[in-house]
Amino acid sequence: MTIETRETLAVEGGVPVRASFLPYHQPLVDAADEQAVVETLRSGWLTTGPRTKRFEKDLAAYAGAAYCVAVNSCTAALHLALEAVGVGAGDEVITSPITFASTANVIVHQGARPVFVDVEPDTFNIDATCIERAVTPRTKALIPVDFAGQPCDLDAVMSIGVRHGLPVIEDAAHSIGAGYKGRRVGGVADMTCFSFYATKNITSGEGGALTTNRQEWADRIAVMALHGISRDAWKRYGSEGYRHWDIIAPGYKYNMFDLQAALVRSQFDKIDAFHDRRVALKSRLDDGLRDLQEIAFPAERAWAAHAYHLYPIVVRSEMLRADRDTIMNAIQAENVGIGIHFRAVHLHPYYVETFGFARGMFPVAEYYSDRTISLPLYPRMSDADADDVVAAVRKVIARYRR
Ligand SMILES: Cc1ncc(COP(=O)(O)O)c(C=O)c1O
């Protein structure tokens, strides 16, 4: 164990732990990824086409779902899922306040009301017992979020869904590759939404996908992702010759295109290798930090196969002479990038002003929201980078310890 001295922090003019800045995240893109994209550029087909269709097939098989629709973001997938199950004006959708903006925003896009419920005090995933109490006759869907890459308690959430006739739309932006009681995320909930945003476990820069076992939803989502024009409209300039298409609903422009699909499909080949590297880095960070009393770590459920997308810590500011933001700024000054996942959505101005949410409504989420910092965790990091993260956190905590 390192014995810290109260070294002068970089924020106070001291020497930073690292000479160069370690970004919070950098994607790992290799020669095979580059080749896949270049081949697509040369193929004569850039938009939605054979590579997107192949990725959909492969992701469905991997997740254990009958259908997959690839789209241009997880936000789009969540929005289309709500549209497909008929969420509309005056409806309510229950979700977690510990999530990204889009999980809640898409509910508003459909004219519905987001109903937040509190999270579990150890995993920070949605608390199923709170969901049950929040169901009303207006509730139309549930959106549990697999926070940081750990699946939420899907059996508990799904059983509430079944009891009340509510579809469960899993926000799996963090949890591709994760498992729930021996099954892969993507094959468990009624619909599962994935993200391939630049920071995600596999990426196409921007991108998303939705898996489901219900053909009716998959068909609707495929149509609504491409202007609401009839299925397979993407083939309209293909070798089968021009065919008329019909607008059957005012859809969106949410389709994944083949350049994205080529990149994410190539990344998909490395999902296990990326995961193994995440596990190794995560345990290196754990080993370096776990004795610090001033930091708490989210609990892991025995039934969960965690995707380790994020490495969030909870800074127990009551044991320190500094709040989270002071700690956050001090770590960054040591040349270690950080993220915040997440400040609780119900406390953001739009949600306070529009829906009357206020501090005190979801105390566990608020405790977490005020104290969390995500440390860097990505396959492109070296062991030495992870050691620098540990050194920076230890230095800052030692300085502000009561
Ligand atoms: C929990 C969660 N849901 C949804 C999203 C939206 O994903 P995308 O950027 O692919 O739209 C994110 C993105 O970071 C996220 O963290």
3-class DSSP string for 308-354: CCCEEEEECHHHECCCHHHHHHHHHHCCECCECCCCCHHHCHHHHHH
For the chain, what percent of residues have pLDDT higher than 90? 94
Show which residues are catalytic.
Answer: 200
* 195 CA from centroid of ligand 1 (Å): 6
Sign of the alpha-carbon dihedral angle for 178, 182, 187, 188: negative
Ligand 1, atom nearest to 146 Cα: 1
Average pLDDT, whole number, for the chain? 96
Q: Is the pLDDT assigned to residue 5 strictly greater than 70?
A: no
| Ligand 1 contacts CB of residue 175 (under 6 A) | no
Rounded distance between C-alpha atoms, residue 349 and residue 353, angstroms: 6
| Ligand 1 contacts CB of residue 100 (under 6 A) | yes
Give the pLDDT confidence of 139-191 residue by residue, as tens digits. Answer: 999 999 999 999 999 999 999 999 999 999 999 999 999 999 999 999 999 99
Q: What does the block give as tokens for 322?
A: 């500094």
Tokens 């993407």, located at residue = 234
Give the pLDDT confidence of 327-373 residue by residue, as tens digits. Answer: 999 999 999 999 999 999 999 999 999 999 999 999 999 999 999 99
Instruction: Write the residue with the smallest CA distance to atom 7 of ligand 1.
Output: 74
Give this prediction's pTM. Answer: 0.97
Ligand 1, atom nearest to 195 Cα: 10
| Ligand 1 contacts CB of residue 197 (under 6 A) | yes
Tokens 């024009």, located at residue = 229
Gyration radius from the chain CA atoms? 22
Query: What pLDDT was estimated at residue 1?
Result: 46
| Ligand 1 contacts CB of residue 295 (under 6 A) | no
pLDDT band for position 199 (50/70/90)? very high
Cβ partners under 8 Å of residue 323, min gap 6: 317, 370
Query: What pLDDT was estimated at residue 255?
Result: 98
* 220 CA from centroid of ligand 1 (Å): 22
Q: Is the pLDDT assigned to residue 3 strictly greater than 60?
A: no
Give the pLDDT confidence of 231-263 residue by residue, as tens digits. Answer: 677 777 777 778 888 999 999 999 999 999 999
| Ligand 1 contacts CB of residue 310 (under 6 A) | no
Give the pLDDT confidence of 12-42 residue by residue, as tens digits. Answer: 999 999 999 999 999 999 999 999 999 999 9
* 341 CA from centroid of ligand 1 (Å): 11
| Ligand 1 contacts CB of residue 139 (under 6 A) | no
Query: What pLDDT was estimated at residue 235?
Result: 74
For the chain, what percent of residues have pLDDT higher than 70? 98
